[in-house]
Amino acid sequence: MKKMVYFFGGGKGEGHGRMKELLGGKGANLAEMTNISLPVPPGFTITTEVCDAYYKAGHKLPASLSEQIDKNLAKLEKAMSAKLGDNRNPLLVSVRSGAAVSMPGMMDTVLNLGLTDKSLVGLAKQTNERMAWDAYRRLINMFGNVVMGVDHEHFERAMTEVKKKARVKLDTDMTIAHLKELVKKYKAIYKKYTKEDFPQNPKLQLRKAVEAVFGSWNIPRAVKYRQINNITGLLGTAVNVQAMVFGNMGDTSGTGVCFTRNPSTGENVFYGEFLMNAQGEDVVAGIRTPLPIEQLNDYLPECYQQLLQIKDILEQHYKDVQDFEFTIQNGTLYMLQTRTGKRTGPAAVRIAVEMVKERLIDKKTALMRVESSALDQLLHPQFDPKAKKQVIATGLAASPGAAAGRIAFTAEDAERRSDIGDRVLLVRRETSPEDIGGMNVAAGILTSTGGMTSHAAVVARGMGTPCVAGCGTLDIDAQKKTLKVGGKTYTAKDWLSIDGSTGDVMAGQVPTVEPELSGYFNTLMKWADSVRKLKVRTNADTPEDAKVARGFGAQGIGLCRTEHMFFEGERIWAMREMILADDEKGRRQALRKLLPIQRRDFVGIFKAMEGLPVTIRLLDPPLHEFLPQNEKAQREMARRLKVPVKTIQTKVGQLHEMNPMLGHRGCRLAVTYPEIADMQVQAIIEAACAVKKKGMKVLPEIMIPLIGTVNELTFLKVRAQKVAAEVIAKKGVKLKYMIGTMIEIPRAALTANEIAAEAEFFSFGTNDLTQMTFGYSRDDVGTFVPHYIQKEILPRDPFQTLDQIGVGELVKLGLQRGREARPKLKVGICGEHGGDPDSVKFCHRIGMDYVSCSPYRVPIARLSAAQAVLEEKAR
Amino acid sequence: MKKMVYFFGGGKGEGHGRMKELLGGKGANLAEMTNISLPVPPGFTITTEVCDAYYKAGHKLPASLSEQIDKNLAKLEKAMSAKLGDNRNPLLVSVRSGAAVSMPGMMDTVLNLGLTDKSLVGLAKQTNERMAWDAYRRLINMFGNVVMGVDHEHFERAMTEVKKKARVKLDTDMTIAHLKELVKKYKAIYKKYTKEDFPQNPKLQLRKAVEAVFGSWNIPRAVKYRQINNITGLLGTAVNVQAMVFGNMGDTSGTGVCFTRNPSTGENVFYGEFLMNAQGEDVVAGIRTPLPIEQLNDYLPECYQQLLQIKDILEQHYKDVQDFEFTIQNGTLYMLQTRTGKRTGPAAVRIAVEMVKERLIDKKTALMRVESSALDQLLHPQFDPKAKKQVIATGLAASPGAAAGRIAFTAEDAERRSDIGDRVLLVRRETSPEDIGGMNVAAGILTSTGGMTSHAAVVARGMGTPCVAGCGTLDIDAQKKTLKVGGKTYTAKDWLSIDGSTGDVMAGQVPTVEPELSGYFNTLMKWADSVRKLKVRTNADTPEDAKVARGFGAQGIGLCRTEHMFFEGERIWAMREMILADDEKGRRQALRKLLPIQRRDFVGIFKAMEGLPVTIRLLDPPLHEFLPQNEKAQREMARRLKVPVKTIQTKVGQLHEMNPMLGHRGCRLAVTYPEIADMQVQAIIEAACAVKKKGMKVLPEIMIPLIGTVNELTFLKVRAQKVAAEVIAKKGVKLKYMIGTMIEIPRAALTANEIAAEAEFFSFGTNDLTQMTFGYSRDDVGTFVPHYIQKEILPRDPFQTLDQIGVGELVKLGLQRGREARPKLKVGICGEHGGDPDSVKFCHRIGMDYVSCSPYRVPIARLSAAQAVLEEKAR
């Protein structure tokens, strides 16, 4: 019989910290902490394999499980010298979920299990009567809600009634009599909705709770959480059954959550918070605002000193920041959980760099430790320090960054408005796991209760979303959709700005500026650069973008889209004139107006990228994109160009396409109207000559888009070379330039050997390549791709992360065939995937020369490229 | 120095018949005929390599060419005992084009070259004065037109003037004085437009004529002809310089064109026509209507007997039907050309089969000899013999087949109207090479002058287009766009029908019936079936189509599209109801109405295909195709379904897609609305059970379209199997069925190993695969693909003939990877390419099991499949 249950206790765990797949993160670390002699209440873990079996059997637990549970329960009872639900010496247990990957608050927990009408008496004797009745009402509530599905609201209402009748405000103010009345009411509620009495058999309680935890693996909010966080491939959750300890036993009891370092800034200071006389859930749920951990020294100095020791032990043992929970029962400290601490991007960088300096880890580990996508948070704009700010409140700086948005009072509202393009700030008294969808789309999160480890704060940090938590002066009415503060009322129409690094809440939309990059960041990037082999370029269409990217370490431009240059200001009119022209002569006339403008653009870009290669893509979009589609704008165009509106409408009609994505664009335009490409090549080479004449180094690379057959490329290359040779001869400058192509059509990848014979470089345009390889129109996937991800037909959105087995196969094939024909072919990738960590790693593995991504993703690509090398070595 | 000129004459040619690439068809066969001692006037051929060099050097002849010409000219002068342009004993030559592939009338010719003011005197003495002046005026006209680009019209007008003044009607009625005057006028015209005198240096004439012939290789009509006929890869044209013989020397002279067998029916009878006292151009141009060749026996019996002998020699020598030209000069017969005779499809089949019976060729040669695409002509509808026909005229049965269309009086008109979907019949006095575009799009061709070997007749037979030629009773006025016959006037609005097998011209649109297939056809098909390895299925959506295809030899249905079943009659309303439904329940309700209808459809198809496999594709097109797009129809729909019109418009808006080709369709519909696929599977399996219960063998294959990832297939397969199992259990019938997929998305081909693990068969949907692999929307390629073909960027339209190196590579890859995962995977192709000869051969070569094509293309595929085997063996 397979081992389904792993015991921990008495200084020894059957499992250990590396068994997360099987025992879940919580279970593995409870065993590990037990093994390194930290004070952990004993218990046992039911494996994730059992969860898998439970689903495979159609929601049925394996037959032999109860025998193994019984055996381990006996061991636990022996360790605790108590018996589950015993009348005199009752053992109470908690039953908690715990998957291999942390999903905070997503699945269900039952506390105080083992209490019955009879064992209550025993508990009362061991502890005190009030505590016992309080534990009992909590059990009935939790068990009723979590295991039996009775709405929590019913219990809440009963409590409110009792408190009202008793004229007390806080739960802690209720007397034993009140609690007894409450238990009675709770039992009645339980019976009303479940049609049965609250179970008085402790083993039945346990069995049902275990099933309920397994069942919670697939509740919608847990499924959604995994989806948002790309958590796939897990067997399920484990179940941890552990002896209860009580932080609510009185004034020498308490509970808290700590980080070994500050997870928001990364500073190496002990960080956490606690509540005296409370159960752990109270801290996490953010119902009472807890105290900073240093103050524990004032209440229970010995416990505080012990915690400081434990913190050091944990960091030395795990070599990483730990996020742990503790409970103090009558002056005795117990560790209930430890896990790797989630941290913000800036914190991750600082911690990694500082731990190297502390010789806790080496540089390679440091590079692997920072999730490259988290760098995003370091690079994005912050509020302009010089801007006028009207600070209306200040809360906890729970997740750094600057965010502004219109107020959304519910998660649903946030989702709905975000869908239609609204920028929203989610404003809640407190957040709960149900809010996960709204939190995901919000620009920032603001709460009025809860601390630094409340749900809102933890989740926001994980997402990299700015968050200000526990801002108590806010008076939020989600029903009426109003927020009152400082005598003013704000509604869903109003903008708020929050600074997650200071805790400031400001009225209106405060302007932002570029961030200053920390020394930690620069150190880490230097390490990354010394490891990586892939070059990182940027996609930039303007000198401004080019400069930003260069500041972030870009080693050239991988994609300069020229079409944007045709849209701006007055240029669009010359473009429209060209489109309306009947013949080549008319087109050339209009193009002559565009030539000096284009040349000026290129001069600016070449200067900004002095000494680095610049890949310029010739005109790509279909011509209809340059014409107005509605009648009013068409009339204006007619007036301006002095042509009948009918002419414009006819042209719009002629240019209309059923599937513009697969239509007359890219090099197809250049083949049918070569004069457009001629003008662009002339502008590029003239600009390059002008810049070179000023003594600057310039490396222009002309990229011809949408090549499907080598003949297109040959046709256009011959023309381009002719134009370039003429310009170079005329300017009398020695200039080297390259002509290459985008590989974005499946056929181009398949016939890459032919194409490479003509192309000096390839740049994989994986956006279009993904569209055509999947047969997905990016504009239209909204109707089915979300279904696909939900049904796990697609693991992820292939437009965000390169589909390595399909599209990637084509990329690999194209690269191999290209290099067969031209061994020194320069190969890169441009488009969204160039800044996606997994995709960058793929590009490294298949042997590309560079990736190109948007300026803000350049550091992400640099780090990912380094990680790719390290991962390869680790294999 | 490379040999650029090949001499023939005196019983020996330097070249031979297999040197067509180098000498062109005409040149090679002149040498060959010389070698087998047929009476050929001597001459020499300038190679196609010279043509290639001419273009590569920028329209310049190689320097050493004139030396080689001079040498061969000297040889020719010796053979003829005459001197080019000599005053007393002048040699005259013809200068003609001739490429490796015959392009009748497409390029230029100059006759009587060598005549000058002085040599005319010599010619007059040798022949007669009238003849000499007539030859001279012809030379000035041809040379002026062909070599110097003077419009032929100018010469025509001068001739008309002279004839009017002289009050004569026919050219032959002009006296010497008239001809002298004409020459004077022609010279003046020549000078006026060329700014120089007509050249009096015969060698200069020759040099210019040679250049002009090379230049004619790339004139628009020649380029267009090659395009239409997919003629690529040639070096250029050769130039044949040959001693002139004159068919217009008087009553013992003449000229003619013959076929060794009837090229229209294939019957083994001597076939041809001639004109007494005429030059060859007169026959081909169709200006005078010639006499049947048998009548030559009445004029020149010896020559006729000699021709009969030559006919037999030619067939025995070439083992194929020959199309040859002869000229009789003063009772002496000369052969001017022979080539493989173009023939109609029915003739090709009959000739191939009869030649096997005559032991002239073997069966394999017979199979290779019939161009499979020509079978098309045997299969297409013919006029219903029982229909009432109003025959208004009868002409020559020049190219068989039934055609009806509205009259187009010019080729341009035919092209223009055909583009907008009009079905046209091209009606001309005579056609000329300029008309090629219009002839290509016309349903049929009708001329009032010209014989069986006139331009119209030859080209029409080549194209397989029905043609009635030389219908002299028609009074055609292309200017006024009227056709008068039998006292009635027909205009461009009127329908005419022509029967190219009888020569009948009928008013109106005569109904057609299926053709009866000849014994020759069946014999050839039997031979093909015994050779081929590929199975041939058909694409059929109705029992009627299925029966037709079965009659043509289809071995099953490879693609039954179910969407057509949703459009017909009342069904569309249930479909629309389903689309409007808000939820699954509503959709299921509407689908219940469709179930019995679909089942009935499938029962019919299974019965028609009893014992053969039937592949049924689940719903494929996007839902918006089922909704009306214009407001009027939307209002009607609203009335009928009793919903607000707004609801319909909203739905239409929701379903609108930017790129529907890459949108929500195929299996993506089935994944998001599985109930649609459920209904279809239920209908298929219920129908199969019902048919099986009647004792018939039924082999259903369920095909899931547009699979891009194996997960889609798994998801839908599991559902389909569940539905099928339920039906089979309920009906109590043992039924085997298969579930497979279309491979039409590049990603499916790339991940075919994964997909084949789930799919029992693959059917390559090369229409969509071509769209996505090229990134071409079939609906939108009109804007650039014609340019591409013209510029030779694409060799052919990839939607007609499979692009073997790009799309084909993906097909090959998909097949290999699929068979790796499932060695017995059944693999076929459906879509247009399944009936295209080259594509069928490709499918054979890569190892497919079957091709599937439209019913009328089934025989083409059968023959192509056999040819593929034979070509493979030949390698």
Pick the catalytic residue from A258, A560, A689, A830. A830
Using CA atoms, how far apart are residues B500 and A866, in angstroms rounded to an integer? 75
- Residue B286 scores a pLDDT above 70: no
Confidence of residue B284 (pLDDT cuts 50, 70, 90): low
Q: What is the pLDDT of residue B285?
A: 61
Pick the catalytic residue from A455, A624, A833, A844. A455
CB of B419 less than 8 A from some CB of A: no
| Per-residue pLDDT tens digits for B626-648 | 998 888 889 999 999 999 999 99
Confidence of residue B400 (pLDDT cuts 50, 70, 90): confident
Q: What is the mean pLDDT of chain A?
A: 92
Interchain pair A775, B776: CB under 8 A = no
CB of A777 less than 8 A from some CB of B: yes
Interchain pair B792, A751: CB under 8 A = no
Residue B762 to chain A, least CA–CA distance (Å): 17
Contacts of A750 in chain B (CB under 8 A): 773, 805-806, 809-810
To the nearest whole percent, how much of chain A has pLDDT over 90? 72
CB of B664 less than 8 A from some CB of A: yes
- Residue A111 scores a pLDDT above 70: yes
Mean pLDDT across the stretch B752-771?
Answer: 97
| Per-residue pLDDT tens digits for B577-591 | 999 998 899 999 999
Interchain pair B658, A806: CB under 8 A = no
Interchain pair B709, A794: CB under 8 A = yes
Contacts of B794 in chain A (CB under 8 A): 709, 711
Residue A216 to chain B, least CA–CA distance (Å): 24
| Per-residue pLDDT tens digits for A82-95 | 999 999 999 999 99
Q: What is the pLDDT of residue A1?
A: 61
Using CA atoms, how far apart are residues B475 and A48, in angstroms rounded to an integer? 92
- CA A813 to chain CA centroid, nearest Å: 31
CB of A794 less than 8 A from some CB of B: yes
Using CA atoms, how far apart are residues B344 and B400, in angstroms rounded to an integer? 7
Using CA atoms, how far apart are residues B370 and B523, in angstroms rounded to an integer? 13
- Residue A625 scores a pLDDT above 70: yes
Half-sphere exposure of A577 (CA within 13 A, CB side): 19
- Walk across the sheet containing A5-9 and list its strands: A12-13, A5-9, A43-46, A237-243, A93-99, A109-113
Using CA atoms, how far apart are residues B730 and A414, in angstroms rounded to an integer? 50
Q: What is the pLDDT of residue A552?
A: 92
| Per-residue pLDDT tens digits for A399-417 | 878 999 999 999 999 988 9
Confidence of residue A105 (pLDDT cuts 50, 70, 90): low
- Tell which residue, A264, A508, A497, A503, has the closest CA to residue A403: A497
Using CA atoms, how far apart are residues B808 and B764, in angstroms rounded to an integer? 10
Interchain pair A774, B708: CB under 8 A = yes
Of these ranges, A40-54, A561-575, B267-281, the one predicted with the greatest mean pLDDT is A40-54
- Residue B287 scores a pLDDT above 70: no
| Per-residue pLDDT tens digits for A272-313 | 999 998 887 776 666 677 899 999 999 999 999 999 999 999
Interchain pair A658, B660: CB under 8 A = yes
Contacts of A774 in chain B (CB under 8 A): 708, 745-747
- Residue A752 scores a pLDDT above 90: yes
Contacts of A708 in chain B (CB under 8 A): 774-776, 806
Using CA atoms, how far apart are residues A491 and A406, in angstroms rounded to an integer? 9
Burial class (CB in 10 A: 0-12, 13-18, 19+), B257: buried
- Residue B1 scores a pLDDT above 70: no
Point out the residue among A662, A803, A805 whose CB comes nearest to the CB of B659.
A662
CB atoms within 10 A of CB B357: 10
To the nearest whole percent, how much of chain B has pLDDT over 70? 99
- Residue A373 scores a pLDDT above 90: no
| Per-residue pLDDT tens digits for B76-92 | 999 999 999 999 999 99
Q: What is the pLDDT of residue B281?
A: 72
Using CA atoms, how far apart are residues A335 and A328, in angstroms rounded to an integer? 9
Residues in Cβ contact with A751 at an 8 Å cutoff, skipping those fewer than 6 apart = A709, A710, A817, B805, B806, B809
- Residue B714 scores a pLDDT above 90: yes
CB of A811 less than 8 A from some CB of B: no
| Gyration radius from chain A CA atoms | 32
Point out the residue among A662, A792, A803 whose CB comes nearest to the CB of B780.
A662
Residue B681 to chain A, least CA–CA distance (Å): 21
Q: Active-site positions of B?
A: 455, 830
| Per-residue pLDDT tens digits for B16-71 | 999 999 999 999 999 999 999 999 999 999 999 999 999 999 899 999 999 999 99
In total, the C-beta contacts within 8 angstroms joining chain A to chain B are: 177
Residue B516 to chain A, least CA–CA distance (Å): 42
Q: What is the pLDDT of residue A168?
A: 86
Contacts of A765 in chain B (CB under 8 A): none
Q: What is the pLDDT of residue A433?
A: 73
- Residue B108 scores a pLDDT above 90: no
A residues 747-776 closer than 8 Å to B (CB): 747, 750-751, 754, 768, 771-776
A72-81, A646-655, B531-540: range with lowest mean pLDDT: A646-655
| Per-residue pLDDT tens digits for A730-740 | 999 999 999 99
Mean pLDDT across the stretch A755-762?
Answer: 98
Buried b (16+ CB within 10 A) or exposed e, B819-832: beebeebbbbbbbb
Of these ranges, A491-505, B95-109, B762-776, the one predicted with the greatest mean pLDDT is B762-776
Please state the φ and ψ torsions of residue B283, each to the nearest 5 degrees: -70, -50
- Residue B106 scores a pLDDT above 70: no
Mean pLDDT across the stretch B805-820?
Answer: 97
| Per-residue pLDDT tens digits for B541-594 | 889 889 989 999 999 999 999 987 887 777 889 999 999 998 899 999 999 999
Instruction: Assess whether A51 carries a catalytic annotation.
Output: no
Check residue B9 and report its DSSP letter: E
Mean pLDDT across the stretch B662-667?
Answer: 94
Higher pLDDT, A386 or A391: A391
| Per-residue pLDDT tens digits for A801-839 | 999 999 999 999 999 999 999 999 999 999 779 999 999
CB atoms within 10 A of CB B284: 20
Interchain pair A708, B775: CB under 8 A = yes
Residue A811 to chain B, least CA–CA distance (Å): 11
Interchain pair A774, B747: CB under 8 A = yes
A residues 371-400 closer than 8 Å to B (CB): none
Q: What is the mean pLDDT of chain B?
A: 92
Interchain pair B663, A777: CB under 8 A = yes
CB atoms within 10 A of CB B55: 15
Burial class (CB in 10 A: 0-12, 13-18, 19+), A701: buried
- What interface predicted TM-score (ipTM) does this complex get? 0.80
- CA A121 to chain CA centroid, nearest Å: 48
Interchain pair B657, A711: CB under 8 A = no
pTM: 0.81
Residue of chain A whose alpha carbon sits nearest to that of B660: A659
Between the alpha carbon of residue B409 and those of residues B412, B414, B467, the distances in Å are: 9, 8, 15
CB atoms within 10 A of CB B419: 10
- Residue B464 scores a pLDDT above 80: no
A17-21, A353-357, A689-693, B427-431: range with lowest mean pLDDT: B427-431
Half-sphere exposure of B587 (CA within 13 A, CB side): 15
DSSP assignment string, B743-780: E-SHHHHHTHHHHHTT-SEEEEEHHHHHHHHHT--TTT
Q: What is the pLDDT of residue A502?
A: 83
Interchain pair A746, B746: CB under 8 A = yes
Residues in Cβ contact with A253 at an 8 Å cutoff, skipping those fewer than 6 apart = A246, A247, A276, A277, A327, A328, A329, A330, A331
Instruction: Assess whether A455 carries a catalytic annotation.
Output: yes
CB of A858 less than 8 A from some CB of B: no
Interchain pair A780, B662: CB under 8 A = yes
- Tell which residue, A409, A414, A387, has the closest CA to residue A506: A387
